[in-house]
Amino acid sequence: MSAPTPPGHAVTDLLGLVALGELLAFERMAADARLAPDLRRRAALSEMAAAEIANYRRVADRLAALGVLPDDAMSAYVAPLQGFHDSTEPRDWAEAVTKAYVGDAITDDFLREIAGALREPDRQLVLDVLHESRYAEFAAAEIRLAIEADPKLAGRLSMWARRLVGEALSQAGRVAAADNGRLTALIAAGGQLDVAGLFRRLTAAHTARMTAAGLNN
């Protein structure tokens, strides 16, 4: 028998998940930048990475203001998030930008959905850490350029994008399990949300983005 979930905990769990997501996205994008074919593109992905760590700082500061050590709020999610990145290491530049494109966008869609379950100021904070669209445009342009140069690439990158989504969903299950369901309880408590509907919307948006970048879903 578990006690009723304290809503405060669920909020800091969620912020911990968001903070860790930013921190690991920073690390992986910074590492993937070395796959870039020239220094200009290498710098562009590095700048995308740097935006993540600035967001990390905002969320970590909010956790501290709520009296929670960011490390404590994040620790439950290290294994699944690290697992996602370890199982999706890009082999080349095209895979790296596809991962940045797909990963950022799904993260943003997810954050937008759960923001509705939060009160202010956390609602606005989560909406604020959404990615700037100029980064998505850079990534999509790089994908289209790579496919233009080598049309066979479209198939491989489409498969890669499907694998990214598959891994993300599989790790999302581990995330939901990681904190004894407090996070899922928070999302459900938002009222507007049903999980099936959430997945449907995330998938539809993902499909539209694949098409926009010249990939098949």
Query: Per rule CB under 8 A, is residue 145 in the interface with a second copy?
Result: no
Of 15, 63, 6, the closest CA to residue 180 belongs to: 6
| Cα separation values, 27 from 23, 48, 92, 102, 189, Å | 6, 11, 17, 17, 32
Among the residue ranges 30-38, 104-112, 156-164, 204-212, the one whose residues contact a second copy (CB under 8 A) = 30-38
The distance between the two most distant Cα atoms of the chain, rounded to a whole number of Å, is 59
Tell which positions 188-217 bind a second copy, by CB under 8 A: none
Nearer to a second copy, 74 or 114 (CB): 74
Q: Which of 97, 25, 82 is closest to 59 using CA atoms?
A: 25
- What is the closest distance, in whole angstroms, from the C-beta atom of residue 128 to a second copy in the complex? 17
> Please, what is the minimum distance in Å from the beta carbon of residue 87 to a second copy?
17
Among 35, 53, 127, 185, binds a second copy (CB under 8 A): 53
Q: What is the DSSP letter of 175?
A: H
Return the residue of 31, 172, 185, 198 that touches a second copy, per CB under 8 A.
Answer: 31
Residues 78-117 that bind a second copy (CB under 8 A): 78
- Segment interacting with a second copy, rule: CB under 8 A, options 46-54, 120-128, 137-145, 153-161: 46-54
State which residue, 43 or 208, has the beta carbon closest to a second copy: 43
Smallest distance from a second copy to CB 177, Å = 20
User: 16-37 burial, b for 16+ CB within 10 Å, e for fewer?
Assistant: bbbbbbbbbbbebbbebbebbe
**Close Cβ partners of 55 (under 8 Å, ≥ 6 residues apart):** 22, 128, 129
